[in-house]
Structures are given as C-alpha cells and as structure tokens.
Structure 1
Amino acid sequence: MSWRTVIVKNRCKLSYKNDYMLITSDGNEKTLHISEIGTLIIENTAVNLTAYLLCELSRYKVKVIFCDHQRNPYGEIIPYYGSHNASKQMSKQSQWSQSTKNNLWKTIVAQKIIKQAQTIYRETGNSSACEALMNFAANVSPGDLTNREAHAAKLYFKELFGPKFSRDSSNDINAALNYGYAILLSAFNREIAAAGYSTTIGVNHCNEYNPFNLTCDLMESFRPIVDSEVYKCRNFAFDDFFKSRLIEILNHKVVILGKEQFLSNAISIYVKLFFRTMETGDDELPEYELI
C-alpha cells in the first residue's frame, strides 16, 4: 500500500467526519479518507484544525508536520502508543546490547556512504570521488570509531554542490536538504511508532535534547535520495515547485529485497527488518536501489 502525502497551503479549516478529513475553504468543502493519508503537511500557519481531527489522525498513525511562518518544517505530532505492545517493545529496546548496536551502526554508515558514492557517480560522473567514497565505506569499523561518516560527508557534499558548499550555510540548497530530510524523518517516525518502539533511544545518536535519535540513525542511508533530488533542482529557487518535488520522493520507486516498492513501503520494510535484526543479533540490513 502507498499512502499519500497531503500538503495544505491555503487558509482553510480542517475537520473530521466519519473517517474523512474535511477541507473547507471559501465555502467549498473537499473530503479525503484518513486511511489514504500517510503524511499531512500544514504549510500555512493560518490553517485551522479541530482537536477531533488531530486525535483521529494520530489514531490512524498519520504523521502531521507543522511548518513555521517561512513554510519550513518545524514540528510534528507523534502518538504516545503506536502499537498495542509498545511497553514490551520499549523495554526490549532499552536492553539492546552495545555490540549489536555498534555492528548495526557500521552497516548503516557503510550503506549510507555507498549510496553517496552512487549518487556522485550518477549525478556528476566523477569516478575518482566515487572510488574514494567506496574506500571510506569499506573501512567503516563497528560503531564507526574512526568517523568515516564525517570524512565521507565532507568530500561528498563538496563534490555534489561545489567546493565552497557548507552544510552550515544559510542558502536555498541547505533549506531544500533540510526540508527533504524532514519528510524522510516523518516517514521513519511513523514506522518506528507503529512498531511500538521509541524514537528517542538510538543506536548511535544519543543527544538528550533530540526526540528522534533512533529516527536519525535509521534514515541515514536514505538521505542521498533527497540529496539527488535537490541536486536535480539546484538551479531553481526553493519554492512550491521545489517542495513538491521533495514531497514526491516518498512515491519514488526503489528495489528492496528483490521487489519493486514505493519508497514509503521500502522504509516500512527497512524499519521492520531493523527491529528483527536487533532481536536476533544479526547485523544484516537490506539495501535499496533506485529505479
């Protein structure tokens, strides 16, 4: 199943009736069944929502993202309990062994760097940078103690967006990257919560002020999908067209476990196999390939 990402841009009222979300604007009313929605982005601060609708969206595990006055993602709603056995799942999560976490983080980082190498070669044709990144991936240690991830990122972003590019700069490219990453973050949050686990207890990320430590861990190897889309649109202003392209990444087709899937479905498969891997101690995680 593929859920829709719905974005609300204009001044309107959102309410709930009989499993439908009602969108009322200028006296006109549209309806959308909540079961069809995966993510709802409230891009306009003038949008009015009822508490009833917000509760039902949470019950259906719909991710609701709120944007600030500049229309950039600022926060989201996560239900307290995404699964009937959430208490049991979180108890197991708190007891994950450090060695298993280190091995999983090694796999995640290596996958991420490999995807970065493939992105560089696909978008720029730079074989030497691709080879350098593949060497970084081959030398990731458990827990990434030698910080191959950071070394690879430094090379990767400068090759993709130019030698003067910095992730710390304030520009349209970084705004677009952050917007796309927020879409990914929301998709992973949905699956983690639905499985009954906490997004706060990570494998590598452990910032006490970050409510999404685990989410940040699991989405790492999927970030290059956003990077690739931003690269394709890099000469455009960061406008509604650009944002719509980023929102559509969840409907991109990928191959995972030998089958063609929408990215939203692939994320669900990846998260479920991650938790199974944590329980069995096996450090194998599936890789995806873009179509």
Structure 2
Amino acid sequence: MSEQHILLIENPCSLSIHLGCLRICRENEDALRIPPQDIAVICLHHFAIRISVAVLQALADAGAIVIITDSRHHPAGALLPEFGRGQATLRLRQQLALEQSGKTGALWRKLVAARLGTQAKTLQKRQQKSVQRLLRLSKNVKDGDPANLEGQGAKIYWRELFGTPFQREKHGATDPLNARLNFGYTIIRSLIARELAIASLRPELGLGHHSQENPFNLADDFLEAYRFLVEDTVASEGNPAPQPLDAESRRQLLDRIYSAPIQLQGKDFRLPAAVKQTVNSFIQQLEDPNKKPALLLPDHSETA
C-alpha cells in the first residue's frame, strides 16, 4: 500500500477528478495529480477553492476525510467516509457489549496512563521539572480514573511546558500557542475518526468521553495518547510562539507532526499507520471479550 498523505490547500484552486486521480489546478501553474487512495486527510483552507461532487465522492470512496475551515481559520466541518463498511451492526453490538462488560474503565485507565507518560517524556526531553511526578501519576491511575489524575497531571504539565501565564483554551483561541495546539489536535483527531469510520466503529460511544453533544467521543479517547506529538512540536518552536498561525506555520506544523516517528512496542510508525494499529488493537478487544484490557498505544511509562 502506498503511503498516505495529509494535504493542506490554502490557495484558490480547482479540484476535479481526471483519469482516476485528484487533479489540483492553480492559475499559471502545472496541475498536480494525486490518487485519492493516497490521501488520508485533505484540509480545504481557502474560501475560493472550487470542488465538485465527483471529487467528494471519490475521496469518500477512498476513505479520505475532507476538512473545511471558517473565516477564523478554525475547522468548521468534516466529511467522513460513510459508516457501514461491512460490519457496522456487528461492531455496534460489540461496542455496546463492551460497555455492559464494565471493561471500558480499564481501557480508559490505559489511555490516561499513556497521556501522563507521554507528558512526562515531553518534559524530560527539555530537562524540565515534574517528570517524576507525572510518571508516578501514570502508574497510579485506577480504572475509570476516579481520582481525576488526568486533570491533576494537566495542571502540572502545562505550567512546566509553557510557563505560568499560559492557559489552555480549547475553542476559539487566538493566541499563537493555543491556535497551534488546536490545529494540530484537529488533524490527528480527523485521522482517528477516519480509521474508526473505515472500521465501522461508532465514534459516539466513548471509553472515557461520554458527552451527548460530542459525536466523536471515541476519537477523543484515542487522541489522548497522541496529543504529545502536537505539544512536542509546538514547544520546539519556543515560548511564546514566534508568530501567529499563518499558512507557512500550518504547513511546517503538519510536516513535523506527520513525519515524526512514533514507537509502538519498540517499532517506528508514521502517524496514519500508528493510528491504524491503535484502532486495530481496540477491535481485537471487541472481538475477544475475555481478553485482558489492552490497547496498542505510543510507548510510554505505563507497564501495568
């Protein structure tokens, strides 16, 4: 299988399908052609991009996600591959059975421990304080995280990584740091949502996230284990961030997140392949209810 890419289109252009390929035509430039099956995510980041239903259909058939942005350059919506790729009813029953089994708390513990462990590694790379505190928290997480060690770790982590003036803003952030974090999270979340859709999994049914207003609870669960990629990249740019999140900054951020090696059980993967491995490990859990709760997540300090 060819390597899949994340495309960020930020200039006026026309998108069409020609000889089975996505053709990107810009004024006074040679057309670019990319097979739809080579695209994992395509982000349309300009109001003057022209696109046809044939393009949307080809991208959906290939399993790609299409993201559109608003006037503030924030994600406004996404087109996901259609659910029902062969096993939708089976997967729904398996997910409901998992909830009834009481094992979702143990899986959420794995995700929270991974989040805390990767936070510790991110700080350790910069020789910052509180590494051991985060490692201790990661090893003490209980099923379902009733003590909210995730929240305790976040307070420590953000203070150490970006300093005390920094405050995390999830929605509508305009400061360069939060804007970068939110943009990077959106791309990874979209990759996860894509894999869930291809696997016929219902993203509404989360392990630790249970909001009735969030159609991507399960994607946000798995995102916890991959957030460190964005944070490590953003922190490497310096604090405060050198400039607003402009087009060039977005391209650099995407390139670095996408190209960063991710270790799963000692083996290196690129981001799309790593996400696929994580989702596949969740499917194995669904297919074997008697299996000890486990997920294949980026390497971290959690060993329980």
Please state which band the TM-score falls in when normalised by the shorter chain.
over 0.9
Q: Counterparts of 1:113-192 in structure 2 under 5 Å?
A: 113-123=116-126, 125-126=127-128, 128-168=129-169, 170-192=174-196
Q: Quote the residue 2:230 is aligned against.
A: 226
Q: Secondary structure at the match of 1:5?
A: strand
Deviation, structure 1 residue 82: 5.6
Q: Quote the residue 1:93 is aligned against.
A: 95
> What is the rounded CA distance, in whole Å, between the counterparts of 1:163 and 1:90 in structure 2?
44
Tell me, yes or no, if the aligned pair for 1:61 and 1:82 is still in contact at 8 Å: no
Deviation digits for residues 37-61 of structure 1 (CA, Å, limit 9, x no counterpart): 1111101121111011101101100
Relative to 1, partners in 2 of residues 1:19 and 1:91: Cα closer, same or farther, differing over 3 Å?
farther
Q: Secondary structure at the match of 1:135?
A: helix
Counterpart AA for 1:105: W
Misfit runs of 4+, over 4 Å: none
Which protein is richer in helix relative to its size?
1
Q: Indicate which of 261, 276, 287 corresponds to 1:279.
A: 287
Aligned Cα RMSD in Å? 1.7
Structure 1: gaps of 5 or more residues: none
> What is the count of residue pairs matched by the alignment?
288
- 1:247 matched to 2:254? The reply is yes
Deviation digits for residues 67-111 of structure 1 (CA, Å, limit 9, x no counterpart): 112222222111222622222212221221352100000011001
Counterpart AA for 1:74: A
Q: Quote the residue 1:77 is aligned against.
A: 79
> What is the rounded CA distance, in whole Å, between the counterparts of 1:30 and 1:3 in structure 2?
16
Deviation, structure 1 residue 135: 1.4
> What is the rounded CA distance, in whole Å, between the counterparts of 1:97 and 1:37 in structure 2?
33
Counterpart AA for 2:279: V
Tell me, yes or no, if the aligned pair for 1:116 and 1:224 is still in contact at 8 Å: yes
What is the TM-score of this pair, normalised by structure 2?
0.90
Relative to 1, partners in 2 of residues 1:27 and 1:51: Cα closer, same or farther, differing over 3 Å?
farther
- 1:288 matched to 2:298? The reply is yes
Deviation, structure 1 residue 277: 2.1
> What is the rounded CA distance, in whole Å, between the counterparts of 2:136 and 2:265 in structure 1?
25
Q: Secondary structure at the match of 2:33?
A: strand
Structure 2: gaps of 5 or more residues: none
Q: Indicate which of 211, 236, 243 corresponds to 2:242.
A: 236
Tell me, yes or no, if the aligned pair for 2:44 and 2:68 is still in contact at 8 Å: yes
Tell me, yes or no, if the aligned pair for 1:229 and 1:245 is still in contact at 8 Å: no
Tell me, yes or no, if the aligned pair for 2:137 and 2:153 is still in contact at 8 Å: yes
> What is the rounded CA distance, in whole Å, between the counterparts of 2:203 and 2:49 in structure 1?
28
- 1:269 matched to 2:272? The reply is no
Identity %: 27
